[in-house]
Amino acid sequence: MVEMKVKVFSYLNCITLNLFQVYIRCGHSRNMKIFTIVCFVLHTGVLGFLQVQWLPCKLKDENVWKNVKNETETKYIHRDVMLHFGNLRDSALYPENITFHVAASKVDMRKYVEGPVDQLQCEISRYSKGLSRVRWPSLGGTEHDVWFTCTLSHTAGLFKVTSFLRVTPATTMSPHQPDFHSWITLRDNEKLSASAVMVVLTRSPSVWVALLKQQTLHCQFAVDHKAPHLTVEWYLKKHGGQQTRLYSYSSSSGQTEGSGVAVDGIARGDASLTLPLTEMSSEGIYLCSVNVPPLSGSVAIALHIMESPQVSLTIEQGSFPRVWCEAMGYYPLDVEIELFKETSSGEHPKKLENVIHRSHTQHNNGTFSLPAFVRLQPSPLEPGCGVYSCRVKHVSLQGLYIYKGITEPGCLTWINLILPGIMCLFAVIIIFIAVTKRGCLYFCKRGIT
């Protein structure tokens, strides 16, 4: 039975592989990713732990040279490539493309990925060590290694995983120039043997949090050897460009600056940062940096403050009666306020066009308020009596609205009409019961006497 399953699986894999190659050669490369996904599902099924062997990626390649003024210039080239989790002996799924063959290692990036293949985005970039000639400590590392980064991200922003790929080509580098001046040129059908040696990831690339809340920013890493020189740092970059270091830890010295990261967690590859109660000053881009010479990896986490509005609706009486709607205590700034009027039961509320908005007011905690009103000017054809409602839209409501409704005082609604009658009927019943009770008591006493 096991042998039969293996044969069926191999047969399906062969069919999907051959179909894919025929499909590509017929000139339909623009649908490569869709067809590759079908191949993946047949080959491995929907993913929990990503077991896929082939993945289409975009390579952000760089052509670097020195011009006549001895200045470094760079031209970026975007190319379609394939990422293969295997070795050079495996048949290429798409022979005409550059293929990165990533050998098995302790830091397989696939174990950190969740969800189906069609929700993945893959991007490969070159990585420069600059003038550093430090050799990667694990087996096979040399000072002439060429480095790439491979980033897998979820289309809905659930995670972002960056893996460092080491390639050992037959090349030498000048000790007096940065390594990017000696980068190898990749041909269209280049086959590169690579090994993953380090991975840095976050499961919170973008975070929305309310004020006065405690928030943890996820940062995780893994290295293929026990790193004797490991540095973990956290930075906060404000929208104006100002950058502040929040935390640092060095494994070689054992020194720690700042707080929010558990040192014992770093030993397990967890560098997550727990923030104090959030304020407006907490908003910004948080950078988690993990440095293992000669590599330095980081993930960026955008933290946004978000507060939902509180809504009030009132009718102001007097010489100039008005209906007021106010959205209070919201953040960020943009908010929409609309007023409606309904003059008869069951009627579709009519949006009022003559709404006047006052200017935003900012409070001490950084949130905003915005009042809006409409003047009550009933015409002979449209009586002033009616039901007014207010609708407020804000990003914190996630596409929903806040509604408030109020009836203009003095309106003869069905409640106004029947409520006095109900009260009168209730009073008559009370009086009748009281009179009947007194009569019963009187006659009862006479009978006893």
CATH number, residue 86: 2.60.40.10
What pLDDT is stored for residue 172 in this prediction?
Answer: 58
| pLDDT (0 to 100) of residue 1 | 37
Query: Which of 145, 180, 144, 177 lies closest to 164, judged by CA?
Result: 145
What is the reported pLDDT for 399? 86
User: Is position 44 within any domain?
Assistant: no
Q: Which residue blocks in 220-334 are alpha helix, DSSP H?
A: 263-266
206 found inside a domain:
yes
| Contact between residue 369 and residue 353 where contact means Cβ atoms under 8 Å apart | no
Cβ-count burial 148-180 (b if 16+ within 10 Å, e if not): bbbbbbbeeeebbbbbbbbbbeeeebeeeebbb
Residue 295 CB-density burial (10 A; 0-12 exposed, 13-18 middle, 19+ buried): buried
Q: Is the same domain home to 192 and 290?
A: yes
Are residues 399 and 288 both part of a single domain? no
Same domain, 209 and 293: yes
Q: In this structure, is residue 11 part of a structural domain? A: no
Q: Are residues 135 and 194 in the same domain?
A: yes
DSSP 97: S
Strand-pairing partners, residue 369, are 328, 361
- Bridge partners of 167, per DSSP, are 146, 194
**Domain C-terminal end among 371, 390, 407:** 407
| 316 and 210 within one domain | no
Same-domain check for residues 321 and 300: no
pLDDT for 227 equals 77
Q: What is the DSSP letter of 335?
A: -
Q: What is the dihedral of CA 150, 296, 270, 117, to 10 degrees?
A: -10
- Give the model's pLDDT for residue 319: 78
- Stretches where the chain sits below pLDDT 70 are 1-51, 139, 141, 169-177, 344-346, 377-385, 409-428, 432, 434-449
For the chain, how many structural domains are there in total? 2
What's the pLDDT score for residue 50? 53
∠ CA(136), CA(137), CA(139), 5° rounding? 95
| Domain assignment of residue 442, yes or no | no
With respect to residue 240, please indicate whether it lies within any of the assigned structural domains. Answer: yes
Domain that holds residue 247: 49-304
Answer yes or no: do 134 and 244 share one domain.
Answer: yes
Q: Rounded to the nearest 10 degrees, what angle do helices 2-25 and 32-44 cross at?
A: 180
Based on the number of CB atoms within 10 Å of its own CB, is 65 exposed (0-12), middle (13-18) or buried (19 or more)? Answer: exposed
Residue 1 lies in a domain: no
Q: Residue 215 has what pLDDT?
A: 96
State whether 156 and 260 are in the same domain: yes
377 & 255 share domain: no
Domain boundary among 371, 387, 407: 407
β 361-362/368-375 pair status? antiparallel
Residues 131 and 228 in one domain: yes
Instruction: Show the tokens assigned to 232.
Output: 């973990």
Same domain, 182 and 80: yes
Q: Identify the DSSP state of 183.
A: P
**Based on the domain organization, do 252 and 388 belong to the same domain?**
no
Residue 435, domain member (yes or no):
no
Cis geometry, peptide bond prior to residue 332 (ω within 30 degrees of 0): yes
Q: For residue 380, what pLDDT is reported?
A: 46
Strands (DSSP E) found in 251-400: 256-258, 273-274, 284-292, 295-305, 310-316, 322-330, 336-342, 350-351, 356-357, 361-362, 368-375, 387-393
Pairing assessment for the beta strands 216-217 and 54-66 based on DSSP bridges: unpaired
Q: Pick from 256, 281, 304: which residue ends a domain?
A: 304
Question: Is residue 376 in a domain?
Answer: yes
